[in-house]
Amino acid sequence: MATSKEHSLESIMRLSKSELLQGGKFKDFLNELVPIVCSSLSAYRTSFWLYRPEKDEFECIQSFDMETNNSSIDKAPDSTAFPSFYKKLKKELFIYVDSSDDSKDLEEFIVDQMLKNRLRSWAGIQVWNDSRLFGVLAVEWKANKDFVNLDQLVMVTAASMISQCYDALIRLKEDFLHRNEVNTLRVEEKEKEKLAKKLSDHAFYTSHSIRHPLSTILALIDLIKLNWESRETYEELLQQLKIETMNLDDAIRVMTAKIELD
C-alpha cells in the first residue's frame, strides 16, 4: 500500500502532463505547482525565488501560504542582512535548516528570519536553467520537520518542472520570432514550410518529452552524491533514477519512430 508520502510524490508527478507546463505558461504554472508542493510537504509556506544575477539577489515571484490558503508575492529575505546564508544558498544544491542548528553561518538567518517568524524548519533547493542558477524553491515549516528522502524527491521533481516550463516558454518565444521572420521573408515554397514544421515538431517533442526526464536524472545524481553514505536513501534514489532512465529511453524510442515515419 502506498504511503501518504508516496501519494505526495504522485501528486507532483501528475503535473508533468499539465497544459500550463507544456505550454510554457510560466507564472500560471508556478501558481499551480507551488500550492501542491506546499500541501505535499505539509508546509506552512512555499515560495519560488527568481535569481537576479545583475543584482546578485533573489526576488520572490510566487508564494503560497497554507494557513490562509492564498497565493501571493512576498519579499525574499534581504541578501545584505544574511550574507553567509545567501552565499550558502548560491553554492549548495540543497539546504535544510533547523531552528536548533548551531552553525555560525546560519545564526543570523535562524534568529532574525526563522525565529522572528515562528519558523522551526526551512529547506531550499536550487533551480538551474541553461547551465546557470535560475532560482530557489523555498519551503518553510512552523513545526520541526522530519525531512525524509521522499520529501527531497518532491522538491527535486518540482525544481525540474520549473526549469522545464521556463524552457518551454523560451522555445515558444523563439518559435514565434522564427515564424514572424518566415512571414516577413514571405517564404512561399511549400516544401520549405513542410520541412520547417517537421523540424519544429521534432524540437518541441525533444524539449518537452526528453529534457524533463533528463533534468530529473541530473538532479537525482546530485542527490545521490549528497546521500552516498545512507544505504537506504541511496537505494531509493537509485530506484527513482532507474525509473527516470526508463522514461527517457521510452521518449527517445518515440522520437525515433516519429522521425522514421516522417
Residues 22-51: tens digit of each pLDDT: 889 999 999 999 999 999 999 999 999 999
Q: What is the pLDDT of residue 132?
A: 92
- Who contacts 160 (Cβ-Cβ below 8 Å, separation ≥6)? 212, 215, 216, 219
Closest C-alpha to 125, from 56, 51, 193? 51
Q: What is the pLDDT of residue 127?
A: 95
Q: What is the pLDDT of residue 208?
A: 61
Q: What is the pLDDT of residue 206?
A: 63
Closest C-alpha to 152, from 228, 41, 34? 41
* Residue matched to cell numbers 501542491: 36
pTM summary value: 0.68
DSSP the chain: ---HHHHHHHHHHGGGG-HHHHTT-HHHHHHHHHHHHHHHTT-SEEEEEEEETTTTEEEEEEEEETTTTEEE-PPPPPTTT-HHHHHHHHH-SEEEEETT---GGGHHHIIIIIGGGT--EEEEEEEEETTEEEEEEEEEESS-----HHHHHHHHHHHHHHHHHHHHHHHHHHHHHHHHHHHHHT---HHHHHHHHHHHHHHHHIIIIIHHHHHHHHHHHHHHHHTTT-HHHHHHHHHHHHHHHHHHHHHHHHHHHHHHH-
Closest C-alpha to 29, from 145, 172, 130, 204? 172
CB atoms within 10 A of CB 97: 22
**What is the C-alpha separation between 261 and 97, in angstroms, rounded?**
52
**What is the C-alpha separation between 201 and 205, in angstroms, rounded?**
6
74, 60 contact by CB (below 8 A): yes
Cell numbers found for residue 130: 541553461
Per-residue pLDDT of the chain (262 residues; tens, 9 = 90+): 444 554 567 888 888 889 999 889 999 999 999 999 999 999 999 999 999 999 999 999 999 999 999 998 888 888 888 999 999 999 999 999 999 888 888 999 999 999 999 999 999 999 998 889 999 999 999 999 988 888 989 999 999 999 999 988 888 777 655 566 555 555 556 666 676 666 666 666 665 667 677 778 877 887 887 776 777 777 787 888 888 788 777 777 776 666 666 6
Each residue of 186-230: pLDDT tens digit?
Answer: 555 666 667 666 666 666 666 566 767 777 887 788 788 777 677
35, 180 contact by CB (below 8 A): no
